[in-house]
Each structure stands twice: as structure tokens, then as C-alpha cells.
Structure 1
Amino acid sequence: MTVKSILLFVTISFSLIVSSCKEDMTPVQSNTLYQSNFQQNQDGWTADIADYSTQQQDIRFESGWAGLPSPLDTTRKSIRVSSMNRSDDLFMFLKKKLTGLQPNTDYRLVFDIELASAYATNSIGVGGSPGGSVYLKAGATATEPAKVLDDDFYTINLDKGNQSTGGKDAALLGNIGAGEDVTDYKLITRTNAENPLTVRSNAAGELWLVVGTDSGYEGLTTLYYSNIKVTKK
């Protein structure tokens, strides 16, 4: 066999091996459905509040795109939300439409939320703890979460449970307590990795994501959401 023949044989054999390997390889599928650190903008998230009477005043609800507060890295961006809980049950939330999913399909969702909180877990306040009695929840629905007026009381058109319990449409991720004897803002993370939430997309392959706090503390709560990630199990 000539040198040229040997080289041709080696080349063909190598090509067959590579082709075989490609056929055996399984493409890696990303389980991340959504993630943002809000460095560019609010990425389509809008804020609102529910679970309060039309008669209640001085709620001081605010929201917007902002840098993290000092002593954190103020060059990092976030979505800032703030409100005074006058109803002892205020739900302060963010929502966003997620597209590009499989139509009419069940998804088991895990939410990983990073936010800045300045509230001690063991703190004492009116109605409850500013840290330990403000509960973080995350979920999704096939229809847009909306505030609904019923007999002079604003509720929300999803089952989020009440305060320390989750509901059909939203899982409890914990509270916003940032540790013992906290006085400055700290970054905390919360997840429902141990309890994924099952939701079904609509016929257009859409889900509405919702993240919020169900408060039992009758005072002012100001939080900064710095990262939201949603994965499928």
C-alpha cells in the first residue's frame, strides 16, 4: 500500500468515527426559561399591589428601575418596589409575560430570586416582623395577573395563598428576613427548588410570571429585585 493510499484510508476512517460520534451525541437542552439581572432595563416587568381597601390611604406605593442601595454595589441595577402595608395583608408584586413555550403544556417551574433586603429575620414590628412576617412568593398563570375590585376591596385574580402559605398559582419561597440584627441592605436569595410549581401554558405558548411579597407587617417595605431566574424541572 502506498503512502497516499494509507493517508486516504486514515482520512476516511477518521471521518467515519467522527460521524458516528455525532450520531451518538445528545444535544444539551437548557432548562432555563428566563433570567435577567436588570442591568439594561426592567425587562418588561411591571409592578402593582393588591389586597387592600379603597378606603385605605397613605399606601405610598412606588416602583422603578434603580441601582442597588448602599452599602451594596450601587452600579448594579434592580427593580425597586416600596409600599406601606395599611391592610395588614398587602400583596406587592411584579409580573411579566413569558412567550415561546409549548402550547397547552404543563411545566414544573423553579424560581431563583435574588433581592436586597434590610429587614432582620428576628425583628419586631406592628402586626408582625418586618423581615419574618413578609413572605416572598413566585408563580405563573396562563392569563395575566390583574388587580380586581370586589366590594371596595382590591384582590388579585390568582391563587397565591395567604401570607405564610402558598397557593395553586404561586409557591412560597420563604420570608425577606436578611439575618439576625440586620440594619443595612443585604443581598438574599430564595428558591422553591424543593417544591417546584406545576403550571400549564395557554394555547399561544405563553405564561405570565409573578413575583411578590405577602405582608403581615403593618409598615413600610422597600425591596430591590436584582435577579430573577426561572427554570423547568
Structure 2
Amino acid sequence: MGPGDRDLLLITHQFDFSESDHGWSGDFADYPVGDSIKYGLYFGHDPLPPNLGNAKGLKISGTNYNDDLFMFVKKKIDGLKPSTEYDVSFQIKFATNAAKTPPNIDGSPGENVYLKAGAAPMEPVKVAVNGQYRMNIDKGNQLSGGQHMTFVGNVATPFDGYYNVVERNNDSSFSATTNAHGELWLIVGTDSGFEGTTTLYYTSITVLLTIAD
């Protein structure tokens, strides 16, 4: 396949959440079954913090008590070639107020909350395992990626005390294989190593797919 042929197979999905959630949904894992209220888990298509204007974003929030809370958003895309490997690139913009601070016994609210992005042929869902909710996909753990997700950075912002929109991209290559129906589930989430509350607003997610060589 030559460079020109490859360009023709570039597929772009752009999701701007200022006015619509575009069918994205949110959920949580790596916490005890039955503790969703204690952990303050919340997902919604909500107005951004006042200093960021009148637009909306995908708000996701939770308090990490066990040093391992996973908060994620997901969306199914279709119309791809069945059972085919794609190279996937992400551009993720989100509002965060997690300042860059030296880590302490509870970790850092910015540097120790790890952002990941990925894709899987099956829907990413939480499943109950020995009293804990775990993911049915391989997301890796905290800083390390897995088969279905790759590390793209942390949630730190240099601006302390108020929300600021930052951007993260996957610098390393990532590939995913579609299912027999030509579908992939996109997933973006945070693996937390910070014992405290994290609240983010995803403002846009752009995904580029090309058939792998």
C-alpha cells in the first residue's frame, strides 16, 4: 500500500461536546461493589466551569479512596472493515484544575492521575469480581497501558486553583482490531493514583484511524 492509498483510507471522527454528548457515556471501575455513593461517582453532559464560558462538556467525577479508581467515557463507532487492524491516534481536550504539585502520601492530583485512550472490539464494561468492579478489557494499571488502552499523559495543569483546557495525544503507536461487524468501541479514561477527588470535563475528542500496514 503506497502513501497515497493510505491517505484515502484515513477515517476521522471528531466529537465536540460543547452542545451534544454525541452518544458518549461514562462509567467507573476499580472500586468496591455497592460504594458508588461513598465514592461520589458522577457523569453527565454539563456546563463547563464559569471561567470557560457557556459551553458544555462531558463531566466525570469521583473520589478515590483505594488509590486505584478508574473513570472512563466510551462510544461505539461502526462502518469500518470487519476483523481489520487499524492504527488509532487520539487528540483529547479536557478541562482540569489539578495543579502540578509535589507528591505526598496521597499522591499528586495532577501527575498521579493517568490519562489513557484506546479501542476494543467489545463494549468496555465493568464487571463484579470478588467484591470489586473491574474492567472486561485490558486497560493496564495506572501509568502502564494494556492491550486495549495506551497511556497519553496525566491531568496536570500549570494553572493552580482554576480550570484550564489542556490537550493530550498518544505519542506512541496504538492499534486495535475491529470485530466481525466492523465496529470498535472508543474509550478514554483516567487511572488514579491520587487518593482524593478528581473532576474533569472532556471538551472534545478526535480520533484518526488508518488500516495498519
TM-score by length of 1: 0.83
Alignment: residue pair count? 206
Residue of structure 1 aligned with 2:115, choices 114, 123, 136: 136
Distance 1:69 1:32 in 2: 32
Partner of 1:186: 164
Q: By how many angstroms is 1:29 displaced?
A: 3.2
Partner of 1:204: 181
Q: By how many angstroms is 1:124 displaced?
A: 4.3
User: What SS does the corresponding residue of 2:114 show, helix, strand or coil?
Assistant: strand
User: What SS does the corresponding residue of 1:71 show, helix, strand or coil?
Assistant: helix
Equivalent runs, 1:1-233 vs 2, <5 Å: 29=8, 31-54=10-33, 56=35, 58-73=38-53, 75-124=54-103, 127-179=106-158, 182-192=160-170, 194-233=171-210
Gaps of 5+ in 2: none
Q: Which has the larger radius of gyration?
A: 1
Amino acid in the other structure paired with 1:34: H
Higher helix share: 1
Query: Percent identity between the aligned chains?
Result: 41
Is contact 1:51–1:154 with CA below 8 Å preserved after alignment? yes
Closer, same or farther in 2 for the Cα pair 1:30/1:183, shift >3 Å? farther
Is contact 1:37–1:77 with CA below 8 Å preserved after alignment? no
**CA-to-partner distance for each residue in 1:100-150, whole Å, 9 max, x for gaps?**
111111001011100000011225455210001000000010001010101
Is contact 1:42–1:78 with CA below 8 Å preserved after alignment? yes
Is contact 2:19–2:55 with CA below 8 Å preserved after alignment? no
Amino acid in the other structure paired with 2:95: A
Q: By how many angstroms is 1:36 displaced?
A: 0.8
What is the Cα-based RMSD across aligned positions, in Å?
Answer: 2.0
User: What SS does the corresponding residue of 1:174 show, helix, strand or coil?
Assistant: strand
**Structure 1 segments of 4+ aligned residues over 3 angstroms from their partners:** 123-126
Higher strand share: 2
Q: By how many angstroms is 1:162 displaced?
A: 0.6
Distance 2:42 2:102 in 1: 24
Amino acid in the other structure paired with 1:112: Q
Gaps of 5+ in 1: 1-24
**CA-to-partner distance for each residue in 1:39-71, whole Å, 9 max, x for gaps?**
332111111000112264610001111122121
Amino acid in the other structure paired with 1:48: D
The one of the two structures with greater contact order (alpha-carbon pairs below 8 A, sep at least 6) is 2
